[in-house]
Amino acid sequence: MFEFLSNNISTINFVLINISLGLSIYITLATGLLSLANAGFMAIGAYTVAIIQTQTHIPFSFGFVMAIALGVTLALPIGIVALGLRDIYLAIATLGFGEIVRIIALNGDKVVRLFSTNKDVIVFNGAEGITLAYKTPTIIFGLPDTTWPILIYCLVAIYILATLHNSRYGRILASIRQDETAASTLGINVARYKLFAFVLGSAIAAGAGALGAPIVRVVDPHNYVFSRGVDILAYAVLGGMTHWVGPILGATVLTSLPEALRFLKDQRDIVNGLIIMLSIIYLPAGLADPRVWTIPRKLFALLGSMRSSARNDSKGL
């Protein structure tokens, strides 16, 4: 057990982070919203932590809190602007937001230098990004001290989303996803609950980005481009967008699969694209759909009946 853990600790780290990210996009999808800014919010979290760590001596935990606070602060105005409009506008606004985050990460130093007395100051470090100092992890209860926060964060995210799912809030978000007009005539303040889902998702993404920074160690814009956002989308689409188990399944499968199927490594984007398209077309409720799990049984039943009928046919001859 311990051997398995220590050999695969980096995969486990990434699975846990990706589950948190999958949950962050799931909560918006479950409300019928498509937010394409999760990679952007992740970048905000990671850069917040990285800048605080390289520029000051403030402890990591404070950076983590700041990351989430910044995510919420930025998600609120975007949500307020875009969520009163048709669903498509949020997708477009968040797409643009993700681009802006990338542009700022690349060129942030130019802005910093405008306001700073030191004209050579390096904060964002452009395309090279910020490299965090390496610390040899200490093992606590069998897991490195870098893994523990991620594990706890992931469990807390699961707890929050599962509790909401099973409460009146889950019901309300589902009703907005299915028919927001009907929901509004029941007295549900649709815009407010959408904002709630969007901000919660963005905060979870920012926190995951912050916790992921010490794992990837190099925080550069390339880590948080749109294709990273599509990875995250793939977790939720494959796993299922309407139940919190979906993104957990999706993230686990898609994160550990490339390890198993190394020959697909260069074609990762094609595989992601295919998974997204095929699951949205032929498996719209995702792997979490209970009906999916009956398919093998049905197939066996079908095969069995075919075989028995074939046997009967041969007997008849």
**From CA 238, how far away is CA 112, in angstroms rounded?**
41
Q: Binding string to another protein for residues 44 to 73, with x set by CB under 8 A, is what?
A: ------------------------------
**From CA 179, how far away is CA 265, in angstroms rounded?**
40
Among residues 9, 112, 280, 289, which is the contact residue for another protein, using CB under 8 A?
A: 280
Q: Which is nearer to another protein, 7 or 267 (CB)?
A: 267
Among residues 167, 294, 305, 308, which is the contact residue for another protein, using CB under 8 A?
A: 167
HSE-up of residue 307 (Cα within 13 Å, Cβ side):
6
Q: Is 106 in the site for another protein (CB under 8 A)?
A: yes
**From CA 263, how far away is CA 280, in angstroms rounded?**
25
Among residues 189, 294, 305, 309, which is the contact residue for another protein, using CB under 8 A?
A: 189
Q: How many residues bind another protein (CB under 8 A)?
A: 75
Nearest Cα to Cα of residue 84 among 191, 200, 212: 191
Minimal distance, residue 263 CB to another protein, in Å:
7
- Interacting span for another protein (CB under 8 A) from 1-9, 229-237, 245-253, 292-300: 229-237
Q: Is 34 in the site for another protein (CB under 8 A)?
A: yes
Among residues 26, 47, 97, 235, which is the contact residue for another protein, using CB under 8 A?
A: 97
Q: How many CB atoms lie within 10 A of CB 88?
A: 10
CB 221 within 8 A of CB 47: no
Q: Is 115 in the site for another protein (CB under 8 A)?
A: no
Q: Is 241 in the site for another protein (CB under 8 A)?
A: yes
Nearest Cα to Cα of residue 215 among 290, 275, 149, 264: 149
Among residues 62, 148, 269, 299, which is the contact residue for another protein, using CB under 8 A?
A: 269
Minimal distance, residue 191 CB to another protein, in Å:
8
Among residues 169, 252, 256, 258, which is the contact residue for another protein, using CB under 8 A?
A: 169
- Tokens 């995510």 locate to 71
Query: Structure tokens of 14?
Result: 């990434």
Minimal distance, residue 22 CB to another protein, in Å:
14
**From CA 217, how far away is CA 211, in angstroms rounded?**
11
Q: Is 109 in the site for another protein (CB under 8 A)?
A: no
The three-state secondary structure class of 106 is helix
Q: Residue 202 region, left (φ>0) first, then alpha (ψ -120 to 50), else beta? A: alpha
- Interacting span for another protein (CB under 8 A) from 10-18, 40-48, 80-88, 287-295: 80-88
